[in-house]
Structure 1
């Protein structure tokens, strides 16, 4: 796939206004600024003490925005090596490498193999739309208890796809922009 230079912009936080060049290929669709602004307005501007998971990281735009807004830790999971290397270089150049973990792996497999309960407060999921992976990922996140109770999940999906959610997932906010839907949801675990 042919790559071209693209730009992602940090909207707020300590790197507010910073523009980051990223090699974009036709299989990569970074979250638009308008959707990022909406998401981070929903979450609140300050993400201090939150541990975040960025699945299907791509450009790392969501994880970078969370880091800029004070997140304690970001874990990036991406199966394309060149994307993950680029994210790692950007974060290294910003001097924040110690706050991040990087995994070169298929996101579905990574979640299936994850072992630490309650590791994350917030998960970003931006999968390839054509594969319709949201339900399977949410089920696995719940089964593995990867999020804390009342943990939040942000995901994007193409409106033409049917959205089916596991019973313990509650939609808090939803917005449609063009052909895409953007959702902030919360996971509640049943009492044991």
Structure 2
């Protein structure tokens, strides 16, 4: 069980995905993200969402709408359960699809995109190379990744790194569209 760390839902429970392969964004990273990014009124994407904890933090901090994307049946079921228990149904879209395919097929853009792809699967650079397709010049893309999987600077020349935060082995990389 996780807890919502910030915002109007602070302290509420968030169920975890019943799968040992699912890694969670730590409480300190979720708190830091909420302190660094203004979600008020924003349309957001939680890509590789897992339990949906980060997207729920976005909603707790005023996001207007969050799209949750994950390929796992267990993750999707957990997100649905969390959304229902927190009474957030009217503010979300839940999509069961591979993140890379979502980025290739989605027609709209998001104000804020957060992605925490599974570590050690080699998909970080694939996501970074496609992310511009759901961004406009005012969008913010936040990537959580392991230091070992930090994307190369030239993976996507349509976005640029504007900020970096270090949390042990975890990095938060902040990008904007060029």
TM-score of the two chains, using structure 1 as the length reference: 0.84
Structure 2: distance between partners of 1:78 and 1:127: 10
Match 1:120 to one of 94, 99, 110: 110
Tell me the distance in 2 between the aligned counterparts of 1:161 and 1:57: 18
The alpha-carbon distance between structure 1 residues 15 and 162, as it changes in their structure 2 partners (threshold 3 A), is closer
- Which one has the bigger strand percentage? 1
State the alpha-carbon separation in 2 of the partners of residues 28 and 14 from structure 1: 26
**Residue 89 of structure 1: which of 78, 81, 106 is its match?**
81
- Mapped pair 1:151 → 2:139: yes
CA distance in 2, matches of 1:139, 1:174: 18
Residue equivalent to 2:121: 131
Gaps of 5+ in 2: none
> Structure 1 98/115 Cα, relative in aligned 2: closer, same or farther at 3 Å?
same
Partner of 2:47: 55
Aligned to 2:96: 104
Q: Distance in 1 between matches of 2:17 and 2:47?
A: 19
Q: 8 Å contact 2:14–2:53 — kept in the other structure?
A: no
Are the equivalent residues in 2 in contact too, given 1:42–1:173 (CA < 8 A)? no
Q: How many residues align?
A: 176
